[in-house]
Amino acid sequence: MNQSNPVTWRTHYALFVLATIYVFNYIDRQLMTIVIEPVKLEFGISDTGIGLLSGVTFAVFYTVFGFPLGRLSDRIGRKPVIAFSCLVWSIVTMLCGMAGNFLTLMLARIGVAVGEAGGTAPSVAMVSDMYPPHRRSTALAVLMLGSSLGAIVGLGLGGWIAQHYGWRYAFLLIGAPGILLGLLLLFTVRSPKPAAAPTPLEQSALQQGWLQTLIELLRMPSFLWLVLAGGAAAVAGYAIGTWSPSFLIRSHGLNMQEAGFLVGVVGGTGSTIGTLVCGMLTDRMARRDVGWQIGVPLLGTLVSIPFALAYFLWPQGTAFYIGSIAVPQAFLFYSAFGFFGVWWVAPCLSAITHLFPATRLAQATAIFVMSMTLLGVGVGPLLVGMLSDYFTPSLGGEALRYALASSVSMLLLAVLFLAMALPRYRTQLARPTTPLVEPDADAVTV
């Protein structure tokens, strides 16, 4: 449904800038992960409190602002929304380092959430505008490298800064580059031109109220199952990503810098490779059968499950040393999980770009990302924190291990939802001329 402009060096440059911005989007979002222990110590909060700080509070405000900002980018263009959002979340990330108590830190994290709500969905839509359908999964995989590279920099560098200079300096130093990146996008990247004028139906859709648009998008069966799959996979993914450094500290005796290096640099490298591989594989396989657009993330998620369980349930023991860091045997399974556990992200986002026209794309992507955030960021870390507190009286220092193992069950649910989406997606693409639901002339605009 969604066409694109000719691909030139300017296209690749724009993708590079967007991907770099997304790296810092993810760094600023995930930096809280590596500083959990010193923040808990300074402010005297529980694991449940950390789950609220890094999860629910962030997710609720991200979700509230995500759809309106996606809607705004469909109307005024992607670039200004992304650029100004980047400026906001970068400035407020620096303010996190100045928080004097738990409440002010939470308010600053709310500001980060509001800023980042305007980043992902418009970026996906802008990449879709720039690249043709048969290259889109690979291009979006490059964009989605931000999560893996963000983990490498945020957890690796953030852990090093926090270990040597304190957690406050980590926020101050890592938040600053995003200000320059927002300005770079605003003044050096050209917005892609519309490949075609909106049809009368698409033009009418632009005038709809947000509630009517939301309902119509979710009435598309393949899209609804993709949204549910993304939410379920994100619950496990964000829970594991948020608590893995603390798990390595508590159950395997690493310090903050060592845990940040392993989860960020080693695990992030595996995720980076996995993201690129799944993007290229999806583009190649989908040329043969469009069903592989969903089949690749389904298989990748299924394969990742036993590796995740082995990571959490494997006993203590050193596999080898990286310098002075004793790498736990269990961490070898995390590396494999990192490779396969990201296979659902870029292909699912690319699938959405094939379902909707440009006038609806950022809004549809925003719904998918909102589901990931509200359920993943909001529920995942909080659920594991609550389970850890619940298990502590009986399991002591190993409570977090079993709380994290329990979260892996959500990946099975994601596999089921992807299996439900696959035939519906294939059927819908076989009827590419099927229009969106005609807007009701009598509907009330919200």
* pLDDT digit string, tens, across residues 218-268: 778 889 999 999 999 999 998 998 889 889 999 998 987 788 888 877 888
Burial classification of residue 426, based on how many CB atoms lie within 10 Å of its CB (0-12 exposed, 13-18 middle, 19 or more buried): middle
Structural domain boundaries in the chain? 9-193+202-429
* pTM, full prediction: 0.76
**CB atoms < 10 A from the CB of 46, how many?**
14
| pLDDT tier, 291 (very low <50, low <70, confident <90, very high otherwise) | very high
pLDDT of residue 339: 94
Give how far Cα 334 sits from Cα of 151, 269, 270, 286, 293, Å.
Answer: 14, 11, 9, 28, 25
| pLDDT tier, 211 (very low <50, low <70, confident <90, very high otherwise) | low
* pLDDT digit string, tens, across residues 324-345: 888 999 999 999 999 999 999 9
Q: Give me the torsion for CA of 120, 116, 186, 208, rounded to 10°.
A: 70
- Tell me: pLDDT of 445 over 50: no
* pLDDT digit string, tens, across residues 17-67: 999 999 888 887 778 877 878 888 888 888 777 777 766 777 788 888 888
Helix, strand or coil, per DSSP, at residue 326: strand
| pLDDT tier, 166 (very low <50, low <70, confident <90, very high otherwise) | confident
Q: What is the mean pLDDT of residues 147-153?
A: 74
Q: What is the mean pLDDT of residues 109-136?
A: 88
Superfamily of segment(s) 9-193+202-429: MFS general substrate transporter like domains (1.20.1250.20)
Q: Which amino acid is at 77?
A: G
**CB atoms < 10 A from the CB of 37, how many?**
18
Token readout for 400 is 């977090």
Nearest to 47 by CA among 381, 373, 393, 404: 381
- Tell me: pLDDT of 204 over 70: no
